[in-house]
A and B are shown apart, each in its own frame.
Chain A
Amino acid sequence: AQTVTQSQPEMSVQEAETVTLSCTYDTSESNYYLFWYKQPPSRQMILVIRQEAYKQQNATENRFSVNFQKAAKSFSLKISDSQLGDTAMYFCAFMNRDDKIIFGKGTRLHILP
């Protein structure tokens, strides 16, 4: 079975600091997509960053970057210069060949002023 594991239920960091959220996954597929989604209190799911498994280069979107280790099946998210608006629930997600997205349990991130 394909699974996504987020080992940090909750984290808090000071504004402007850098924070890394961990994620591991399990799959036997070789081609797949990985995502980090943000869910603020409004509960609207917002795509933060995506990574295609066939690409070795780590994806980057402004202050957000990932460390993708395919062999280790690890996909961590780094948020640089964290801002108060980054406070949210963050879900790591895996999309399989059937386009089904499997979510981790989430990490609740608090950015402290």
Chain B
Amino acid sequence: GQNIDQPTEMTATEGAIVQINCTYQTSGFNGLFWYQQHAGEAPTFLSYNVLDGLEEKGRFSSFLSRSKGYSYLLLKELQMKDSASYLCAVRDSNYQLIWGAGTKLIIKP
């Protein structure tokens, strides 16, 4: 079966750095997405990786290792507004998105 694993919940301090990991086992691979979802709202696109390596976008970076079936989302200089769930999704060989259950990130002052 297809599976996306990410931690259920993480806690970090304002101003610090946090890394959210995602491991996947899917039928084929055609890209990995990270989405941010604030409570009660729709997910919004953060990043997309299809090749190995690091993609940096402001305070957020996303890393991919296809050989390891692994990605992480790195958030720097954490702000209180970063408190949200972060969803990892992998596009399989049929171009369907397989979603992880999300990681709830709690930021403390």
A and B associate: no
A interface residues with partner B (beta carbon < 8 Å): none
B interface residues with partner A (beta carbon < 8 Å): none
